[in-house]
A and B are shown apart, each in its own frame.
Chain A
Amino acid sequence: MNHLAQSNLRLFIATFIFALSGCGLVSDVKDLDDVNLSPDLAFPIVNTNVSAADIITKFDADGTNTNVNGNGLISLVYSGQVASQSASDLIELPSFPIPLIDTLQTAPYALSNGGSLNTVIFKEGVLAYEISADLPEDIEVMIRIPNASIGGDMFEERIDLYYQSGGFVSGSGSIDVSGYTLDLTDNELTLSYSAIRKNTGETISLRPDSYVVLQDAEFSYIEGFLGEYQLDSGEDRIGVDIFKTITFASVYFDNPRIDVTVRNSFGIPARTRFETLDAISEDGSITPIQSPLSSFVSLNYPELDEVGMAAETMIAANNGNSNINEVINAAPHEILYQLVTDLNPDGVAASNFATDNSVFEVDIDVELPLYGRVLDVAVIDTFPVDFREFNTVEDVEFLVHSENGLPIELGLQVYFVENGQVVDSLLLEEQSLMVAAETDASGWAVTPSEQDLIVTFDATRFGQIKGVSEIYLKTRFSTSNQGLESVRLRDTDAFDVRVGMKGKFDISVTDLIGG
């Protein structure tokens, strides 16, 4: 209604109020301070549906630590990349000066670790030179590397040197060798040069301190016996966050596992083992994890006809081949690891290869399928509340109705806290809020359970909690049959909690209409 209509209404009312003033009705209204109502109200408070996936999200907000298999079974996965090594960082091409002492000569070209090279394709690099001749005139020098070619053309470069002063001609520079393929026989690089006077074309010799050197060379492909290497990840840790969040009396995962995945695109035989693989508990105690990787395990690698591909090796530590069950169920907060990998462990010369993209990567996944038993796992949280809006409540009854499709029983206690002191609790003692759903022989929930819980607050009791600022919520859950049966948790398993309230309210109409 707009302002003008309100004004008209007021005038209309005022006219008749004046007319009625003699009836004494207006005086009754004037003497009226307020109108108080005491209705009995019923209304809903909470209606929440929570699935197992929602619960897990609380512990893994971005889903990076959660996996759901085809059956809906949820697994918590804690991952870490143990090792990562690229070929370009591991293998360094030799770089040394080659004196131009003869017009045709060979020079050794091998890896520093004793590996021998058959073929190198340069991705980058230069052939730097320092050339001089004892002639005070311009000269022309041709450098040739017969076993280096690009597109079928042999490496041949002309260098012009121009006399400046000092009685001899000299010069330095570099020649780009990117894209050249160097085919080596017996680890030797063949190099030839020819030098002539520009004026006359007479062949000359260079000063013996002339040299060339392959610098800043990086390969795009390398083949040969690349030698022995040992890769060490160093010590690192993976956090198992689930055990950092919950406090518990007993939790038992039936089928935990640690999966180690090795991706090897080096064409080099390799083996790996954990130098260290320990579980560290909250109190710092260390439990070694015995697994197939406690001793060396041979790894897959690509063959010569699989250049550019990665071979994968997966090694699992599970109940059948390790003490992982015992370790995980001790609730470790971290997994400490150190992985050692040997390339060409036998030291036997063989045809190896690597590209500039070759990498050696090792990932660890600590997987906890939510299949197991839980007894008295407690989740504790504190959150602020404001009951001042319920200031008019006199007596209340809360009806808590739950329908539970999880194979987990939930106990609840709520503490009302004011200035750090517990003023009251919702229940006289911790009670079961939700009974676990019935499960089949495999531990899957099949039949939801229903339960009603009634909590009453009389006026005195409610008055005591009106001023609280915090609720201390303690939930305790166990799997079916008081934690004695292992159950499986689907992502779609869910529970409903509904809380309704009935109560007598003391309401001031003045407060209600805000005037």
Chain B
Amino acid sequence: MFNVRFCIYSLMLMLVSGSVFGQQELSTHFMTNLPQAQQTNPAFMLEEKVSIGLPSLYMNYSNTGFSWKDGFRQGDDGSMLFDLQPIVSELGDHEVLQTQVQADWFRFSFGTENLRFNAYAATKASAFVRYPRQLMELIWEGNEQFIGETVNVGPDFEALGYHEFAVGGAYKFEKIQLGINLKYLKGIANVSSATHLAELSTGTADENYALGIETSYMIQTAGVANSFPNIFGEGNTGLAVDVGMVYHINDKFQVALSATDLGAISWDSNLKHFSSQGSYSFDGIDIWDNLFDSTVTITEAIDSLGESLNFETTNDGLYRSSLPTKVYMSGTFRPMEGLRVNALAYGEFYRGTFVPALALNASKDFGKVFTGGVTYSVRNRSWGNVGIQGVLNLGPLRMFVMSDNIIGLVGFKGAKNASFRWGMNFQF
């Protein structure tokens, strides 16, 4: 089953497929004239009384460590190589690799100037891997550099799929807008590391370079072990909430603050967990008894050390997985009618990781037909992210497309970040 290509494809799955926590969707936050912006701050209110969102798609990819082109390159003889050696030393202590796909099935909103009701349904899939640099160093450069040290090479990961059914509303009084979305979550599948301790120690020369492995690694799965993921099966449900506020300082300035995806899914159906637990060591073969008798095989002894990593099934207990919590803190300046300048500080909290981003955006209404915007953002130690947003207004029909990193989208192989959202709404 396992060959190089399969492994690469699996890596691609991690890179591009599914939904990735840490979606870091920035551009949507600036498009407050679209109902999609409400998922970044439920306090955002449309000017139109009614809005019907048609199915739309969002995809996001982010890798703090390296781009596709960093790994795949052509060798001197023209052959395709996969080699991360040149970039391993440039990695941070931990790098995060994540992707997300979100399909909005419908989005409905109605209300008045001061009161708004919203509802939508979406399916989200994501994948997240947080890997230590030492894992890459170990694979590409070996353990000699770690003589006398213990390194943790266990990645933390989660792959998740779920449906989201939300109802919400917003209320405006005087200068303040408050909004909330209540979301019912229906889990499809989950594969995640509950614990991810995998330490490899290499002894000093005095210790004969003795190898030790200590693992406390548990992989929890729901919805994949015993059957194809049942999209509408029993169990695996959860709740989440989005909260937000907008404060209009004056006609030109406003600030907004929101927190979204505060919630979790309880996985209780179609469960199967795997665990590797224990400490194993190898400090050399006692060859005395074999000295005069038989062939000495070293790799047999080392292979047995690797066999100690075998995962065993464990009790299939219930577990919860939290959604990534996102915080948006933004300010908007309207120097003139139809022009908006936005600044955003974004942070995402997920599985012990905090991922920040900063963005500056300028959006302009070109008459009533087109709204365009440009966003510059800094994220994931990536400084050259230029995004674009465009909304085409054809009467009540709004067609939109946006990306947080258009350069990354076009030159995907060389990008560490890329996102894309498109869709259509009827707003009237």
Contact = CB atoms under 8 A, between A and B. Distances in A.
Interface of A: 1-2, 4-6, 8-9, 11-13, 15-17, 19-20, 23-26, 28-50, 54, 58, 381, 383-386, 389-390, 399, 401, 452, 473, 498-502, 504-505, 509-510, 513-515
B144 to A, nearest CB: 4
B10 interface: yes
Contacts of B140: 37, 39
A477 to B, nearest CB: 15
B168 to A, nearest CB: 31
A511 to B, nearest CB: 10
Interface string B133-154: 0000011111111010000000
A48 to B, nearest CB: 5
A420 B265 CA distance: 70
Nearest to B15: A25
Contacts of B142: 39-42, 504-505
B5 A32 contact: yes
B173 interface: no
Contacts of A49: 286, 288
Contact of A20 (B16, B18, B291, B299): B16
A381 B293 CA distance: 10
A2 B225 contact: yes
A48 B12 contact: no
B349 interface: no
Contacts of B224: 5, 8-9
5 contacts: A4-B227, A28-B68, A40-B142, A40-B143, A513-B4
A245 to B, nearest CB: 11
Interface in B353-381: none
Contact of B144 (A40, A45, A386): A40
Contact of A515 (B1, B210, B294, B413): B1
A401 B206 CA distance: 8
B208 interface: yes
B2 A513 contact: yes
A34 B4 contact: yes
B110 to A, nearest CB: 34
Interface in B196-231: 202-203, 205-206, 208-211, 221, 224-229
Contacts of B141: 39-40
B1 A384 contact: no
Contacts of A381: 291-292
Contacts of B210: 44, 47
A498 B299 CA distance: 17
Interface of B: 1-10, 12-13, 16-18, 68, 72, 79-83, 85, 138-145, 147, 202-203, 205-206, 208-211, 221, 224-229, 272, 274, 282-288, 291-299, 302, 412-413
Contacts of A9: 10, 224
Contacts of A58: 292
A504 B272 CA distance: 40
A13 to B, nearest CB: 5
B4 A32 contact: yes
A354 to B, nearest CB: 50
- 6 closest A-B pairs (Cβ-Cβ)? A39-B142, A47-B284, A515-B3, A16-B17, A44-B284, A40-B144
Contact of A46 (B13, B138, B284): B284
B79 A33 contact: yes
A504 B140 CA distance: 11
A12 B283 CA distance: 42
B13 A16 contact: yes
Given A40-B144, A509-B7, A515-B6, 5 more contacts: A16-B17, A35-B83, A40-B142, A58-B292, A514-B2
B229 A28 contact: no
Nearest to B145: A40
B284 A384 contact: no
Contacts of B208: 44, 47, 399, 401, 498-500
Contacts of A48: 284-288
Contact of B143 (A2, A41, A383, A500): A41
A48 B412 CA distance: 55
Contact of A45 (B3, B225, B298): B298
Contacts of A23: 16, 412
B237 to A, nearest CB: 21
A510 B68 contact: no
B120 to A, nearest CB: 23
A35 B147 contact: no
A33 B10 contact: no
A187 to B, nearest CB: 66
Most buried by A among B9, B143, B299: B9
A43 B139 CA distance: 15
Contacts of A34: 4
Contacts of B413: 24-25
B4 A515 contact: yes
B12 A20 contact: yes
B239 to A, nearest CB: 26
A398 to B, nearest CB: 11
Contacts of B138: 39
Given A5-B221, A43-B211, A510 B3 contact: yes
Given A41-B144, A509-B4, A383 B72 contact: no
A387 B229 CA distance: 48
B217 to A, nearest CB: 14
A386 B412 contact: no
Contacts of B227: 4
Contacts of A390: 298
A66 B281 CA distance: 36
Contacts of A8: 224, 228-229
A385 B295 contact: yes
A43 B205 contact: no
Given A32-B8, A32-B82, A383 B293 contact: yes
A201 B293 CA distance: 89
Given A39-B139, A42-B209, A514-B2, A5 B225 contact: yes
Interface centre among B1, B282, B412 (most CB of A within 10 A): B1
A28 B72 contact: yes
Contacts of B229: 8
A58 B293 CA distance: 11
A455 to B, nearest CB: 14
Contacts of B18: 16
A473 B288 CA distance: 13
B8 A45 contact: no
Given A383-B293, A384-B294, A35 B4 contact: yes
Given A40-B141, A44-B283, A384 B295 contact: yes
Nearest to A383: B292
Nearest to B16: A20
A399 B205 contact: yes
B8 A29 contact: yes
B2 A389 contact: no
B3 A389 contact: no
A41 to B, nearest CB: 5
A40 B138 CA distance: 9
A507 B205 CA distance: 24
A460 B150 CA distance: 33
